[in-house]
């Protein structure tokens, strides 16, 4: 059995840090330690060199964290990232839907899935909740690509049977058959999990939403992912299409789609009753700050969600979001909340992209920390790149100050190496020093 030891400054969360405290009570930091890995899982840590019998990778002076978890991202939208000038509904019709139509071609889906999963790894992201397209082949390609790289992936074919262009609509019966086949072949296979993937309420008829609800209840451990209350025009459209529902979120609740494995992106335009419903059902909001700012959608009330007990995680939402980097996502989340009068701590931001996200996905026994027994999904980072960041790092007076500067100033250029289940899946050339 392969035994690997990685040397560096080990940082992870061991509990919920809250939103604003800069105290390190929930933080575990072991400077210049060796992280020990056997059979793809973390087995311990120690300050001394483990010696012969271990494949040693020396990253002394670098930061070692759990791999990031992106709770909402779109595989086919890499090619439309940074598209100018529209809000949500126009953006979908102008940029997103044409790009997604091409994924009916199996070759396009396979190439796109390979590029996408490699890009995640090159940003230090080792697990993700992902939208492919309405085409079954796109979900198959994504499952295959993630499995080939050993990654934890939660995905499923997108459901859209109305208000979408030709080539992007399905129907209830065929969609159900496709979902069942994908569930049978992929759900629980290795590290893959299936999610009923409702594009958003306007693109599914009530019959399709009801079908998704039935399937969600049919098999233990299934997920559901969708969008909710991202944009005011979208919210108004949902109210017209579903006049019997109390709110946009209630549309999903009425169809049995809210539960402890439900991931709803955005959640900007919610009220207190919605927030209470999220907490009651255990559903989480995947906060997408980069996308919300880029499309001008609004500023989420993270404190209001937390006050009601609703879980909030972080997501890049590429291509509405402008980077797969969870560093940039964390930095944008800080700015969004600063505009709301809330100054998030570095620990809150890091938790929402690691341990907190794993807990919300009910995967904290597998990912999100450097705890013994967890999968060795690990990212190794330079604390600082460039003279400005190096100066700021050198002037840090506390661990919190240092980590906050790293979150704010770092991105994928800081990444030295990414491991998935103990296997190196991305290396920046010339940066890792290995010893026998």
Note whether 96 and 118 are same-domain residues. Answer: yes
Cα–Cα separations (whole angstroms), residue 97 to 94, 106, 139: 7, 17, 16
Note whether 152 and 186 are same-domain residues. Answer: yes
Query: Other CB atoms closer than 10 Å to residue 391's CB: what's the count?
Result: 10
Let me know: does 404 contact 395? Beta carbons within 8 Å. no
* Structure confidence by residue, pLDDT tens digits, 264-277: 999 999 999 999 99
Those residues whose C-beta lies under 8 Å from the C-beta of residue 405, and which sit 6 or more positions away, are 384, 389, 392, 393, 396
Note whether 43 and 103 are same-domain residues. Answer: no
SS3 content of the chain, % helix, strand, coil (to 5): 40, 25, 35
Q: What percentage of the chain carries pLDDT values higher than 90?
A: 94
**Which of the residue ranges 98-102, 120-124, 197-201 would you say has the lowest mean pLDDT?**
98-102
Pair of tokens at residue 208? 């399709």
For residue 68, what pLDDT band results from cuts at 50, 70 and 90? very high
Those residues whose C-beta lies under 8 Å from the C-beta of residue 433, and which sit 6 or more positions away, are 57, 58, 59
pLDDT given at position 85: 78
Distance CA 335, CA 344 (A): 9
Residue 353 lies in a domain: no
Q: Is the pLDDT of residue 228 over 50?
A: yes
Note whether 240 and 305 are same-domain residues. Answer: yes
Distance CA 377, CA 370 (A): 8
Distance CA 163, CA 104 (A): 18
Distance CA 424, CA 379 (A): 10
Would you give the DSSP letter of residue 45? E
Beta bridge partners of 131: 74
For residue 177, what pLDDT band results from cuts at 50, 70 and 90? very high
Let me know: does 241 contact 201? Beta carbons within 8 Å. yes
Those residues whose C-beta lies under 8 Å from the C-beta of residue 115, and which sit 6 or more positions away, are 78
Note whether 51 and 94 are same-domain residues. Answer: no
Those residues whose C-beta lies under 8 Å from the C-beta of residue 52, and which sit 6 or more positions away, are none
Report helix, strand or coil for 86. coil
* Structure confidence by residue, pLDDT tens digits, 331-380: 999 999 999 999 999 999 999 999 999 999 999 999 999 999 999 999 99
**Which of the residue ranges 42-46, 76-80, 193-197 would you say has the lowest mean pLDDT?**
76-80
Residue 238 lies in a domain: yes
Task: Compute the Cα dihedral for 167, 170, 174, 180 and give only its sign.
Answer: positive
Pair of tokens at residue 408? 């704010």
Residue 150 lies in a domain: yes
Collect contacts of 206-213 with beta carbons under 8 A, ≥24 apart: 206/242, 206/255, 207/161, 207/172, 208/159, 208/161, 208/172, 208/175, 209/251, 209/252, 209/255, 209/257, 210/255, 210/256, 211/172, 211/175, 211/176, 212/159, 212/179, 212/255, 212/257, 213/255, 213/256, 213/257
Q: Is the pLDDT of residue 157 over 90?
A: yes
Considering the chain, what is the average pLDDT of its residues? 96
Q: Is the pLDDT of residue 433 over 50?
A: no
Pair of tokens at residue 12? 């992870």
Distance CA 190, CA 184 (A): 13
Note whether 125 and 214 are same-domain residues. Answer: yes
Would you give the DSSP letter of residue 67? P
Note whether 306 and 375 are same-domain residues. Answer: no
For residue 89, what pLDDT band results from cuts at 50, 70 and 90? confident
H or E element that contains 178: helix 172-186
Residue 180 lies in a domain: yes
Query: Other CB atoms closer than 10 Å to residue 23's CB: what's the count?
Result: 12
Q: Which domain holds residue 26?
A: 3-67+369-435
Residue 221 lies in a domain: yes
pLDDT given at position 300: 97
Distance CA 69, CA 29 (A): 20
In terms of phi and psi (left: phi > 0; alpha: psi -120 to 50; beta: otherwise), the region of 280 is alpha
Distance CA 138, CA 105 (A): 9
* Structure confidence by residue, pLDDT tens digits, 8-27: 999 999 999 999 999 999 99
Note whether 78 and 60 are same-domain residues. Answer: no
Average pLDDT over residues 292-316: 97
Average pLDDT over residues 241-247: 98
Residue 42 sits in a domain whose CATH number is 2.30.40.10
Distance CA 126, CA 414 (A): 16
Note whether 182 and 260 are same-domain residues. Answer: yes
In terms of phi and psi (left: phi > 0; alpha: psi -120 to 50; beta: otherwise), the region of 226 is beta
Note whether 55 and 169 are same-domain residues. Answer: no
pLDDT given at position 432: 43
Average pLDDT over residues 391-399: 98
Note whether 283 and 263 are same-domain residues. Answer: yes
Q: Is the pLDDT of residue 73 over 80?
A: yes
Q: What percentage of the chain carries pLDDT values higher than 70?
A: 98
Residue 192 sits in a domain whose CATH number is 3.20.20.140
Residue 243 lies in a domain: yes
Note whether 29 and 138 are same-domain residues. Answer: no
Cis before residue 164, ω within 30 degrees of 0?
no
Average pLDDT over residues 409-428: 97
Average pLDDT over residues 19-37: 97
Q: Tell me which of 264, 292, 324 is where a domain ends.
A: 324
Number of domains in the chain: 2
Residue 89 lies in a domain: yes
125: nearest Cα among 151, 148, 162: 151
Distance CA 425, CA 152 (A): 13
Pair of tokens at residue 228? 């909710």
Distance CA 128, CA 224 (A): 13
Pair of tokens at residue 351? 């938790």
Let me know: does 226 contact 198? Beta carbons within 8 Å. yes
For residue 88, what pLDDT band results from cuts at 50, 70 and 90? confident
Q: Is the pLDDT of residue 431 over 50?
A: no
Residue 281 lies in a domain: yes
């Amino acid at each position: 059995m392969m035994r690997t030891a990685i040397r560096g400054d080990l940082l992870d969360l061991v509990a919920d840090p809250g939103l604003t405290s800069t105290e390190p009570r929930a933080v575990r930091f072991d400077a210049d330690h060796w992280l020990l890995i056997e059979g793809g899982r973390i087995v311990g840590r120690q300050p001394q060199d483990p010696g012969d019998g271990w494949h040693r990778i020396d990253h002394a002076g670098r930061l070692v964290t759990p791999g990031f978890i992106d709770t909402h991202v779109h595989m086919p939208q890499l090619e439309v990232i940074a598209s100018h000038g529209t809000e949500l509904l126009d953006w979908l019709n102008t940029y997103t839907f044409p790009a997604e139509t091409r994924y009916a071609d199996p070759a396009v889906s396979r190439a796109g899935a390979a590029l996408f999963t490699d890009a995640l790894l090159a940003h230090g992201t080792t697990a993700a909740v992902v939208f492919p397209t309405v085409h079954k082949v796109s979900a198959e390609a994504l499952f295959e690509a993630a499995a080939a790289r050993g990654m934890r992936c939660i995905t499923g074919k997108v459901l859209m049977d109305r208000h979408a262009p030709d080539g992007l609509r399905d129907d209830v019966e065929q969609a159900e058959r496709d979902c069942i086949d994908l569930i049978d072949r992929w759900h629980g296979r290795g590290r893959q999990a299936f999610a009923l993937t409702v594009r958003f309420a306007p693109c599914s008829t009530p019959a399709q939403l009801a079908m998704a609800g039935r399937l969600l209840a049919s098999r233990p451990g299934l997920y559901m992912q969708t969008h909710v209350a991202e944009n005011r025009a979208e919210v108004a459209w949902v109210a017209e299409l579903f006049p019997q529902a109390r709110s946009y979120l209630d549309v999903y609740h009425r169809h049995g789609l809210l539960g402890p494995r439900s991931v709803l992106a955005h959640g900007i335009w919610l009220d207190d009753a919605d927030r209470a419903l999220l907490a009651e059902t255990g559903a989480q909001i995947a906060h997408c700050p980069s996308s919300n700012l880029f499309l001008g959608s609004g500023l989420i009330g993270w404190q209001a969600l937390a006050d009601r007990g609703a879980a909030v995680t972080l997501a890049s939402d590429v291509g509405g979001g402008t980077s797969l980097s969870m560093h940039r996502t964390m930095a944008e989340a800080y700015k969004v909340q600063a505009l709301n009068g809330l100054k998030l701590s570095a620990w809150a931001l890091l938790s929402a992209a690691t341990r907190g996200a794993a807990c919300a996905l009910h995967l904290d026994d597998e990912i999100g920390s450097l705890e013994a027994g967890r999968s060795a999904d690990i990212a190794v980072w330079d604390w600082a790149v460039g003279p400005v960041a190096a100066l700021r790092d050198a002037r840090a007076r506390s661990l919190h100050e240092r980590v906050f500067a790293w979150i704010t100033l770092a991105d994928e250029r800081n990444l030295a190496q990414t491991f998935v289940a103990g296997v190196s899946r991305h290396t920046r050339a010339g940066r890792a020093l290995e010893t026998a």
